[in-house]
Amino acid sequence: MSDIEKTQELTVTLEEQLSKKVSKTILSKSVKIKTKKQKKGNFWGLMKFMFPLQVYKVMVNNGRKSWFIFRRYNEFHSLHEKIKKLYPDSNLRLPGKKIFGNLDPDFIQQRREGLDNFIQELVTHPQISQNPDVRAFLALDNPRNAQEPIDNDTFEDSDNMNGRDINPVNLGPSERQSVKPSDFEFLKVIGKGSFGKVLLARNKHEGNIYAIKVLQKQAIMKRNEVKHIMAERNVLLKNVKHPFLVGLHYSFQTPDKLYFVLDYVNGGELFFHLQRERYFPEQRAKFYAAEMASAIGYLHSLNIIYRDLKPENILLDSKGHITLTDFGLCKEGIDHSGTTNTFCGTPEYLAPEVLRKQPYDKTVDWWCLGAVLYEMMYGLPPFYSRDTAEMYDNILYKPLRLRTNVSAAARSILDGLLQKEKENRLGAKRDFQEIKHHAFFADINWDDLDAKKINPPYNPNVSGQLDLKHFDPEFVREPVPASVGRSMDSCKLVSASVMEADNMFQGFSYVPPAEDAFS
C-alpha cells in the first residue's frame, strides 16, 4: 500500500467541551472555562474571563489503540504557522481568530468545521502527515501522553494532562472483536442507498454468503439520520424470529463506516418483477399481500410501525417468498393507542393523515398494504400521478376507483384498506386480526403461511447463491470499493475516528447469542 493510500485513511473531527467540570459524558458545544490567574486591569485576563476558552476533542486510532486529545485554538494556530513555513505550496487554511462574538453558534460551527478541514488537509497529505509536529499534535508516537482531563475536577488551561488508551465505542455485551470487514470477501455491489451500498459478501471463515449493508457515518450525520439508522438496527435485532423479515447476523463498525450483515436473498425486488410483468394475477398478489400482512402484524405486536412498505423494499427469496427489508423509517414504541407525527415515507404510498401532518398510528401500514396490493393487481398505485402535487391531492380528495377485473373480495379489502379516514380503515380496531379474517384471505391457512408450507405462485428459478440475474445490472457492474473490506487493526493504518459519530452510534455492534444464531 502506498503512502498516499495510508494517509487517506486518517480522518479527524473536533468536539468542543462544555463545562468547567468536564463530565464523563461527551458533550458537543463550547464551554465557559475561567483561568485561575486573572489580574485586575489585565486586558487579556479580562478577555479570558468574559469569553470562553474553546477546547476541541480529537479522536485518534492507530491499529488497535485509540485515544483522544484536547487542543485549544492557539495550538492549531501554532501548528498551522509551522507547517505553512515548511510547506508553502500546501495552501493550508485555518479559521481566523475572533475576540468578540465568539459565542455566536454560527461562528462556533464554522470554526469547528474549519479546524476539521485543516486537520483533514494535514492527514491526507503524504508528506505533511509524517511531519514530527503533526505526529506530536496527534500524539501518534506516544499516545499515553495524550491529553485526557476526564478524571479531573477542573479543566485548567494546561498541557500537562495525562492520558490513557480508550475504546472509542462502548459496544456492550454483544461485542466480539472477531467481527470485522476483513472477515469478508466482498464480491459484488447489489444495491445502493442514500448513505452507502449493499454488497454481496462471503465470510472467509464460514463460507456463508451474506448481503452487507455498508453505510458512511459522515453521510448519516450530515443529514441528521442517526436516529433512523439506530432504529433500523434495533428493529433488525427483533426480526430474527420472523420468516418474512430480513434477518441480521452481525452489525459492527469501523471509524468511518457501519456494517449490517444481513440475510442474502436473490429473487429480486418485487418492484423489478412488477416492472417486467406490469401486474400480477389476483392469487399471486394475494399470496404476497398475506406474507406482507403477517410481517407487518408481527412488527405491530412489537409496537413498531414500518412506515415504508413499497415494492422496492419487498424482496423475493430464492423460492419466491417475500422478505421485507430497509427498516430505516420504522417508529418504535407505538402501542395500540399510540401515535406519531413525523412526515416520512414514499410519495405514492403516503396515507392521507401523513399528508395532512396529523398524528397517525399503525393504520398507516395498512394503507400502504392497500396501495401495494392495488398496484400488484392494477399496475399502478391507486392515486398515482407523475405530478407529485396532483398525486397528493388525489390521495387526499379523489375517490378510490376499483375496476371489476378483480374479485368482489379483492375490491372489498382494497376499499377497507384505502379508507381516507384512519378511524374507518380496515385494521383500525383490531389491527392484524381484522386483515387476516377478511374474506379476501379466506383460503389462506396462516399457520402454514408462516411456516412457508404454501408453495409460492412464482419461482425466481435462481441457479445458486451467486446467481444475480434479478439484480439491477447497473449495480452489479459497479466495482467493489476497496475500503469496505479494510480492517484497521489488520492493515495497521493510522486513523482518527469521529468521536461524535462513535457516541451517536454507541451500541451499534451486534453478534447474536448462540441460541439465536442462524444455521
Q: Is 319 annotated as a binding residue?
A: no
- C-alpha 1/C-alpha 494 separation (Å) is 13
| CB distance 279 to 376 below 8 Å | yes
| CB distance 185 to 468 below 8 Å | no
Of 323, 280, 283, the residue nearest 440 (C-alpha): 283
Per the residue annotation, which of 116, 183, 308, 317 is the catalytic one? 308
Three-state SS for 162?
coil
All cell numbers assigned to 182: 476483513
In terms of C-beta density within 10 A (0-12 exposed, 13-18 middle, 19 or more buried), how is residue 105 classed?
exposed
Alpha carbon separation from 345 to 286, 309, 310, 410 (Å, rounded): 23, 8, 9, 25
Three-state SS for 324?
strand
- Amino acid present at 453: K
Whether 157 is a known active-site residue: answer: no
- C-alpha 397/C-alpha 186 separation (Å) is 48
- Looking up cell 378483480 gives 406
- C-alpha 421/C-alpha 363 separation (Å) is 10
Where is the binding site for ATP, in residues? 222
Active-site positions? 308
Where is the binding site, in residues? 222
